[in-house]
Structure 1
Amino acid sequence: MALDEQRKLYPAKADRLNAAACALKRCAESIPKDTAEYRYWKGVQGEGASYKEEIAQLKATGEFDGRGLFSEVREWSDDKLGAHNTVVKRATAAGVTVAGLVVGVGGYGAMVATASACLTGVGCLIPASTGALGSLSLSEAWQSSSGITADYQSDEPQRVKRFVLSRDFSMGKEHDFTVRLFKNCFSKAVRI
């Protein structure tokens, strides 16, 4: 909000304020380094670092003051995970694939092991349900296996652009890549 106020007070300096804010928040650090977007935002970040007056102006608002150790560590991990998200996505897909295979094979094994209980209609529910679980898990494993080798397109450049141009400059929950990563992994694991 402080950035938005500064842009309103000094509209001629809006681009310089955006670049200075990018430098203060190290906005390029979460973008994969081998992309054109990284080079662009690294340039904006570097340019913003040279705008000493604007940096001082933004720091004076109190919104860009130093952060505590926990915030620094979390932001560093978010940046590293964002910059190397292709590895994270592929590792997550591999993990979900392996878990799906294990549960799928286990489901079919349980179906075979409980087949002798299928003497009545009710007794057939156990092998039928474990077989269905096995089928669903193997289907999920098949679908997630395509994520291991799929082309990867990072969403970090768009997030950084929204961050720099947003009205609320606090990055908020959207920036918390670590939380997004674990929620994504957990939701896939629950589906298996």
Structure 2
Amino acid sequence: MLPASPSPGSTRKTAFPKWTDAGFTLKTLPSLVHGAVLRRLLLTVTLALVTVAGYAQWSNPFDTIPAYHDAAPAKGEALPPILSGKQLTGPSFHYPWQVEVYHEAARIPKVLYQLPCYCRCDRALGHTSLHSCFSGTHGAECTTCAKEGAYAYKMTKLGKTPDEIRHGIEHGDYQQIDLDSLGSKAQASR
């Protein structure tokens, strides 16, 4: 049984306070709930931003650049040979551009040695530079390697340094290379 309500003008409180005693009404309840949800959302977003900012301080931007050599090989240091001749036949060499990219790579091995390869073969295959891609068949099997190799050759012919070429590769400029037209030009010149 519920306690009786006090008579009007009485100072006695009931065991169950009314919502209006604390300033709440059914009309203000939705705005209070909305405010609580909004505060929780704001707190969650703030914590997420602090977490991202904290993580950014500890991330290493150099982890995103694939392996390459800072300078040309030392005098007398022999690089593994780029595939050539009859090695450019078989199941990995179906298209004319595949052979042409290797011909171009063979003309600039020291430049390729100083360039990264953004197919991430440094992680997957242990490559140490773009040169590694062309000392095996990987350069024919991967269009990223092939485009980077063709881009490096084109830029070298234009007088660009390995540093300038690396900068272009890092910015994705190699992606504009059309391998099919490269193969067509090579066939037409032979």
Structure (1/2) with the larger helix percentage: 1
Q: Give 1 or 2 for the bigger CA radius of gyration.
A: 2
- Shorter-chain TM range is under 0.3
- Larger RCO (CA under 8 A, 6+ residues apart): 1
- Structure 2 length normalisation: TM-score? 0.21
